Amino acid sequence: MNLYVKSIFHQLQVANESLLELMGQIDVNLLDEKTDENKRTIRELLAHIVVIYAADYYIMEGSTQEEMNDFYKNHIPYSIEEMRLELDRNFNFLREQVSTFSEQDLTELKTSWWGVTYSRFEWLVEIVAHIYHHRAQLHTMLIEIGTHPQVRLFE
């Protein structure tokens, strides 16, 4: 794995550690709370977050919209423990897949089902942005419902 990809995975590991800490501080009675009627519940947001690594990998590799819809339907963890396991499983899956990429693989352009084209390396940057975005969203939701998580979000 090249230095840049190692750096990507370091940032994803930072995100994982803080996500696991956040999950550990969530009262299970609050999982179905939402801060806006047009937004996801905490449970729905967490279920989305924990599949990002695998989902975004499949998107990067050219999965169709139909294939992604099927993926999401078949990957809906419900409990905090299931979500913790899913986060870990999908992180390891992404790392295993990407660890075999050559420099040429990382520069290959890949197009998503909705038409966005990035290099594989740029898709990895997008995964970092995606996970950090939703982690911040979760943190904000927890504060808005009156929980004040004691979690460092950055090193």
Please list the residues that pair with 111 across neighbouring strands: 117
- Give the mean model confidence (pLDDT) for residues 129-145: 96
Break the chain into its structural domains and give their ranges. 3-144
What was the pLDDT predicted at 139? 96
pLDDT per residue over 6-17, tens digit each? 999 999 999 999
Residue 62 in tokens? 């050219």
- Give the mean model confidence (pLDDT) for residues 38-57: 97
pLDDT at 1 over 90: no
- Measured CA to CA, the distance from residue 35 to residue 32 in angstroms comes to 10
What was the pLDDT predicted at 131? 98
DSSP 31-95: TT--SSTTS--HHHHHHHHTTHHHHHHHHHTT--HHHHHHHHHH----SHHHHHHHHHHHHHHHH
What was the pLDDT predicted at 30? 94
- Measured CA to CA, the distance from residue 97 to residue 116 in angstroms comes to 21
pLDDT per residue over 78-116, tens digit each? 999 999 999 999 999 999 999 999 999 999 999 999 999
CATH 3.40.1010.10 matches 3-144: no
What was the pLDDT predicted at 58? 98
- Measured CA to CA, the distance from residue 16 to residue 113 in angstroms comes to 27
